[in-house]
Structure 1
Amino acid sequence: MGLKENIKQLAKEYANDYVAVRRYLHSRPELSFKEYKTGAFVKTQLLAIGIDAIETVAGTGLLASIEGKKNGKTILLRADMDALPIHEKNKVSYASQNEGVMHACGHDVHMTSLLLTARILFELRTEFSGTIKLLFQPGEELMPGGATLVMKEPAYKALGEVAHVGQHVMPSLPVGTVGFRGGQFMASMDEIYLTVKGKGGHAAVPEECIDPILIASHIIVAAQQLVSRMASPKTASVLSFGKIIGDGANNVIPDEVTIEGTFRTFDENWRTEAIEKLTKLVTAIADGMGGECIVAIPKGYPHLRNDMALTETMKNSAKGYLGASQVVDLAPWMAAEDFAFYTQKSQGCFYLLGVGNENKGITSGLHTPTFDIDEAALEIGGGLMAWLAVEALL
């Protein structure tokens, strides 16, 4: 029996064990940089497999190693660990036990798949050469991103230039399929915080006030020029505002309004230019209307750029493992991922794992309170990543 067949057999044999692991993790989610119990559980799982070369990174993260039969290349496999501040609405036995916290982005699946991958690879370690690093990374969902902290760790720096591989669940892809895209894949992400200051008062005497709600309205509408008139039509950009707070009343004009949003693109030069233009635009509008706009745009995640050669190799490896019909080409995705930091420095391949199943009603999107997966994806996710890793070490 060949190595690929061994991997498939072990993935199938151990899959049910990891359904239980996934459900345990799903029911006990922890927020970004607070993954203390999650990290402890993952470490226990690694030790039970027989993997004891484990280092703590970025506070709650883990970096473990599997050594092959002899020296060779090194590859890093990454899973994120944190959950989101979302109240779960799924009526399942493994629903979140932590009020207001939920694995709504599939990080429980990512950890579980990597643990299954680890078990397979450790059992087959005499059948390949090289080193496989297993990174369980905290804080993907919260700036500055756990990746930035991991990259400062001595244990990570000691790796040098190694290929990085990660997968992300995707409910719009049916279970059994995976998707790849070389080059620019996911967008940069910068968070926008605007505070519009005016002069509050009674709504019946607007001439005595400087209305920050009106100013904020003009700012939101005018800011869309950033994409519609200032960006090249060839450059993908998204500017969205998702939160506005003006704490007045039906007859009270407030003193200030806060606005929160996000800006995303694939062009790092345009990213810098756009933020400068936005800052000038919103401050000028507020000033022209007698108010003030305080702008805070902390630098977020860069765009995620998959290495073309590595991604093509892994796509072909996936076809060999799953069948060509189960591997799809992906369009650019305007979501953001802190895995992007790794791809700015090293070869990277970040791909999507199908977890949806319309027949079972598993269709809810990421970051929703009813997100769930077809757990048949765990066998595929764990086995495929093991195969991609050993193929890359050849």
Structure 2
Amino acid sequence: MQQLLSRIQELAAAQATDVVGLRHHLHAHPELSFEEYQTAAFVADELRKLGLEPQPIANTGLVALIEGRNPGRRTVALRADMDALPIQEQNDVPYRSQNPGVMHACGHDVHTSSLLGVARILVQLRDEFEGTVKLMFQPGEEVVPGGASIMIKEGVLDNPAPQTVLGQHVFPQLPAGKVGIHAGRYMASADELYLTIRGKGGHGAMPDLNIDTVLVAANLIVAAQQLVSRRANPKIPSVLSFGKVIAQGATNVIPNEVYIEGTFRTMDEQWREQAHVHLRQLCEGLAASMGASCELEIRRGYPCLDNDVDVTQRVRAAMVEYLGEENVVDIDQWMASEDFAFFSQAAPSCFYRLGTRALDGRYAASVHTPVFDIEAHALAVGPGLMAWLALNELQA
């Protein structure tokens, strides 16, 4: 395997500039979730240049197989998401977005170009490994229900079924050249909450003749926090946040309705289900006790992302072999969510982070901001590392 590792590192270094070029093209032509038509066409064309036969899935997604010797021995699936965000880019770079109001601000252009780089490497090594590597180019990670769930429903994890699924994501908290990893529950589930409180509006000087929806909303927002502080097991990470409140009244007008939006996140699927029940009971009961009514819509988002402990231990050991112990960082749980979680619920999986910050501190801007960008060296690391991890899993 040591000879194979060196071979992968050589191939990764030789193609690094080309992979950066692929990323720049993708960054300049971003497309929103489930609208990745040109992106998918570009990816498919690149795969065909390698002699692969990409197949469409989930409308704008693609799947392709790289078969080594004895392809039925074992299968590893590798995932890259392709969609961009509705953000106006503020970076002044030659490869800045050419699509107004759309930007690759979450690094999906990095993930896609990196997986294309993996394909370039593994195609050249077909005679040196056994098994099959399944490439999954996924649409719609940024919006519910998530492209991963649709791909799974359409059979992406069948024929052949992977024994392991791997995914990577940019991580500006770490410099390029380093990677982050966490075994077990890593990222939270995320559900969207939409509440409508209905009462009886009227003059603010005569509250006795009204049913004050604003007062009900204020009580509800405060009371709902008890779900986290008093109903949840303190050992289970949970977050309940309300970020939008609309009460279309005035200084002297109590509105008929108040509209609220929020999010509920946790690391435990059983508690997640219980919390939904508690939330409904709280909203309906509290509103009724104050003479109002409350309608709660819960839009189920992504589940908890659970990195299989055995797979993650193997991946971490392989990372150390490829990068050195000093470049593999054990990172904490994160209450953000990712639809790779659907893969982690369906098969033994590992989702890890690729450092993208420059050593001098540049490119430290967070994802989902209009100035997000990466240190190009990350694309000299990402493809080779993922190729190495895939071949290690084929040997597992």
Separation in structure 2 between the aligned mates of residue 97 and residue 209 of structure 1, nearest angstrom: 53
Residue 173 of structure 1 pairs with residue 177 of structure 2 = no
Q: Secondary structure at the match of 1:320?
A: helix
Preserved CA contact (<8 Å) 2:76 2:162: no
Separation in structure 2 between the aligned mates of residue 147 and residue 189 of structure 1, nearest angstrom: 15
The one-letter amino acid paired with 2:127 is T
Preserved CA contact (<8 Å) 2:198 2:292: yes
Relative distance call for 1:211 and 1:102 in structure 2 (3 A) is: farther
Separation in structure 1 between the aligned mates of residue 384 and residue 151 of structure 2, nearest angstrom: 26
Shift of 1:228: 1.0
Preserved CA contact (<8 Å) 2:77 2:162: no
Match of 1:242 in 2: 243
Separation in structure 1 between the aligned mates of residue 255 and residue 109 of structure 2, nearest angstrom: 43
Percent of aligned pairs with the same amino acid: 53
Separation in structure 2 between the aligned mates of residue 335 and residue 295 of structure 1, nearest angstrom: 23
Match of 1:55 in 2: 55
Relative distance call for 1:121 and 1:100 in structure 2 (3 A) is: same
Shift of 1:191: 1.1
Q: Secondary structure at the match of 2:360?
A: helix
Q: Secondary structure at the match of 1:157?
A: coil
Unpaired stretches in structure 1, ≥5 consecutive residues: none
Separation in structure 2 between the aligned mates of residue 80 and residue 142 of structure 1, nearest angstrom: 12
Match of 1:304 in 2: 305
Separation in structure 2 between the aligned mates of residue 106 and residue 248 of structure 1, nearest angstrom: 41
Equivalent residues, number: 393
Preserved CA contact (<8 Å) 2:75 2:162: no
Match of 1:119 in 2: 120
Match of 2:64 in 1: 64
Shift of 1:154: 3.9
Q: Secondary structure at the match of 1:374?
A: coil
Match of 1:145 in 2: 146
The one-letter amino acid paired with 1:61 is G
Separation in structure 2 between the aligned mates of residue 5 and residue 296 of structure 1, nearest angstrom: 54
TM-score by length of 2: 0.95
The range that moved more, 379-388 or 25-34, is 25-34
CA deviations over 1:258-308 (Å, ceiling 9, x no partner): 211111111111111111111111222222222211101122211111111
The one-letter amino acid paired with 1:39 is A
Shift of 1:156: 3.5
Relative distance call for 1:355 and 1:259 in structure 2 (3 A) is: same
Q: Secondary structure at the match of 2:319?
A: helix
Shift of 1:95: 2.1
The one-letter amino acid paired with 1:300 is G
Relative distance call for 1:155 and 1:219 in structure 2 (3 A) is: closer
Separation in structure 2 between the aligned mates of residue 92 and residue 154 of structure 1, nearest angstrom: 39
Match of 1:110 in 2: 111
CA deviations over 1:152-190 (Å, ceiling 9, x no partner): 224543223521000011111121111111111111111
The range that moved more, 276-285 or 196-205, is 196-205
Unpaired stretches in structure 2, ≥5 consecutive residues: none
Separation in structure 1 between the aligned mates of residue 252 and residue 100 of structure 2, nearest angstrom: 36
Q: Secondary structure at the match of 2:122?
A: helix
CA deviations over 1:220-276 (Å, ceiling 9, x no partner): 111111111111211111111122222334444332222111111111111111111
Match of 2:278 in 1: 277
Preserved CA contact (<8 Å) 2:237 2:267: yes
Shift of 1:355: 0.7
RMSD: 1.6
The one-letter amino acid paired with 2:59 is G
Separation in structure 2 between the aligned mates of residue 153 and residue 40 of structure 1, nearest angstrom: 20
Shift of 1:66: 0.7
TM-score by length of 1: 0.95
Relative distance call for 1:250 and 1:135 in structure 2 (3 A) is: same
Match of 1:287 in 2: 288
Separation in structure 1 between the aligned mates of residue 301 and residue 291 of structure 2, nearest angstrom: 31
Preserved CA contact (<8 Å) 2:241 2:262: yes
Match of 1:20 in 2: 21
Relative distance call for 1:209 and 1:97 in structure 2 (3 A) is: farther
